[in-house]
Amino acid sequence: MQKLRTLLLLLLAYAAATFVPGPGLWLRELNLGSNSVQPPQVLLATLLLSAGLCSSKGALRTTLKTRVRFLAMAISAWIIPLIAAVLTVAILWGGLGCPPRVALGVVIIAAMPVANSSVGWATSLGGSVTLSIALLVVGTALSPLLTPIAINAGAYSLNTAEQALHETPWSEGMGQFFFMWVLVPVLLGVLIAGRLHDSATERLVPVARRLSFFMLILLNYLNGAACLPALAEQPQLLTWPLLGAGCLLLTSLALGQGLASRSTEDQAANSDNATQVSLVLAVVMRNTGAALVFAGAALPDYAAVSLTIIAYTMLQHVGVGFLLGRNSSEPHHR
């Protein structure tokens, strides 16, 4: 029942963004004392801080100590989406004549690091919050090096490697953004959680979990308000982007489920389920917010690229809420 409510609230958020976008647009543009600080950034930091508070004491240190196993998970969370993108492009572009700009959008999505909201979803769906945090931190740290390589390789193979792609803004402000609004709040939450007494943790975790979920729904509303009303008026624009994003999502999900099953064969049942959820989240959920920033700056005239990213943004949340939520157990705050 809880997972059904999660999915329904997510769908309601997208419906509100489509038909009542005004408050969301106003909130997106509201300046909080500085032109560089806006509500979406604060909401994101609050989401990750709350998720960090749900981690267990010393669990992050224990996770990172299993270097070989964790490194294999972190690398897989990068490689599997790229494999899924190759398969998607081969089917849709090579076989069905998908527009190359949609195919490029698929490549850009797959090249992004793990989504910030994957930690929030891990909190709600019974995943290992600690593992999700570790995969987010490592993926974000590696992204300035690996993401441009993956994007340029994909663009070259699609014959769309224009000069704009080599002038990527990834290193211009993105590192500061990830440090301030992603790494700092999530690590702060982990640090606070590690210093709380057990009684305080028991009282705080349920509140933090609810706050994290509320921030997740609100962020989806704000992001949807910026694009869904226009797309609702011209739904035909989303045909190929939806096909591309949907194919990438399903392929990533299938490959991620296979990886998760093999990675947790020797673990206890509860730990097995929590680890599987977090691994699948890390594979499937990509940082589409960063992808939109990249596409808007490097490829402003490629509307199909941005539409593909927007389509994946919606599908990844609805798909995760439905497919993982249907099978996951009650949350374990690991």
Quick one: tokens of 293? 């920033």
Task: Supply the pLDDT for residue 334.
Answer: 43
Helices (H), 158-268: 163-166, 174-178, 184-194, 198-225, 228-233, 239-263
Question: Per mean pLDDT, which of 15-19, 50-54, 171-175, 303-307 is the most reliable?
Answer: 15-19
Q: What is the DSSP string of 16-34?
A: HHHH--HHHHHHHH--SSS
Residue from 192, 318, 329, 215 nearest 269 by CA: 329
What's the mean pLDDT in 222-228?
81
Give mean pLDDT, residues 57-71: 69
DSSP 331: -
Encoded tokens for 19 = 């038909």
The residue type at 290: A
Residue 21 confidence (pLDDT) above 70: yes
Q: How confident is the model at residue 89 (pLDDT cuts 50, 70, 90)?
A: very high
The model's confidence at residue 229, banded by pLDDT at 50, 70 and 90, is confident
Amino acid at 131: L
Residue 174 is predicted with a pLDDT of 60
> What integer is the mean pLDDT of 257-266?
72
Token pair, residue 120, equals 């929030």
pLDDT at 70: 81
pLDDT cut 90: percent of the chain above it: 17
Check pLDDT > 90 for residue 169: no
DSSP SS3 for 66: coil
3-state secondary structure of 185: helix
Handedness of CA 272, 278, 281, 286 (dihedral sign): negative
Say yes or no to pLDDT of 162 above 60: no
Highest mean pLDDT among 109-118, 220-229, 246-255, 300-309: 246-255
In this predicted structure, the answer to whether residue 109 has a pLDDT above a threshold of 90 is yes
Q: What is the band of 86 on the pLDDT scale with cuts at 50, 70, 90?
A: very high
In this predicted structure, the answer to whether residue 330 has a pLDDT above a threshold of 50 is no
Mean pLDDT of 167-173: 55
Contact 305, 108 (CB under 8 A): yes
Please give the pLDDT value at position 175: 65
Whether the CB-CB separation of 136 and 116 falls below 8 Å is answered with yes
**b/e sequence 214-226, b meaning 16+ C-beta within 10 Å:** bbbbbbbbbbbbb
What gap in Å lies between CA 50 and CA 116, rounded to an integer? Answer: 12
Q: Which of 166-175, 188-197, 297-306 has the highest mean pLDDT?
A: 188-197
Torsion of CA 23, 25, 29, 31, to 10 degrees: 10
Residue 332 has pLDDT above 50, yes or no: no
Count of alpha carbons within 13 angstroms of residue 189, beta-carbon side: 28
Tokens 């931190």 sit on residue: 137
Predicted confidence (pLDDT) at residue 75 exceeds the cutoff of 60:
yes
User: Do residues 322 and 253 make contact, with C-beta atoms less than 8 angstroms apart?
Assistant: no
Handedness of CA 323, 303, 286, 14 (dihedral sign): negative
Residue 84 has pLDDT above 90, yes or no: yes
CA distance linking residue 207 with residue 210, whole number of Å: 5
Q: Does residue 302 carry a pLDDT above 90?
A: no
Q: What is the DSSP string of 69-108?
A: HHHHHHHHHHHHHHHHHHHHHIIIIIIT---HHHHHHHHH
Provide the whole-model pTM.
Answer: 0.78
More confident residue, 82 or 191: 82
pLDDT of residue 16: 93
Q: What is the mean pLDDT of residues 243-252?
A: 95
